[in-house]
Structure 1
Amino acid sequence: MSKFTKTDVLVAAQILDLIKQERAKALSKREWQHRIAGYGYGIRDTQHGQIVETLPHHVPVCTLPPELAA
């Protein structure tokens, strides 16, 4: 288990900003997921909600905020 450091939190915040920007540009949820896959990220459903993960290794980055999960 890894501990979050300040840089981990900053990187996660930057990735979330990118994901929010791409959601604003996309016309549909499917297009949005395709756009973020181009940056090397994906959305995965878990028991605790949706998470952002890296592709193709599926390393969790952060939790997807509820306003983007809809």
Structure 2
Amino acid sequence: MFTDTHMTDSFGEVRSFLLRERDKVLSEAEWRFRMRGYGYNVRKTDHGFEVAQLPKNEIIGTIEE
């Protein structure tokens, strides 16, 4: 399977991508590990998941649980 390689400034598109990838894995840890490979750091918070773009680790949005 190939991924779409276009750049986006829309957090909505990033959120959709992250959630589609979450459906493909068995655990939250595996999902977070895979997302680091795509350049996103996903951290669990009290309200859901905080998403940061690597390598600068700048927060770009949150995904509510």
Figure out how many residues of one structure are paired with residues of the other and give that number: 58
Query: Which ranges in structure 2 are unaligned for 5 or more consecutive residues?
Result: 1-7
Determine which structure has more spread, i.e. the larger CA radius of gyration.
Answer: 1
Q: TM-score, normalised by structure 1?
A: 0.69
Deviating above 2 A after TM superposition, structure 1's stretches of 4 or more consecutive aligned residues are: 44-50
Superposition RMSD in Å: 2.1
Q: TM-score, normalised by structure 2?
A: 0.73
The structure with more helix, counted as a fraction of residues: 1
Report how far residue 46 of structure 1 moved: 5.3
Query: Which ranges in structure 1 are unaligned for 5 or more consecutive residues?
Result: 1-6
Determine helix, strand or coil for the equivalent of 1:25.
coil
Q: Percent identity?
A: 38
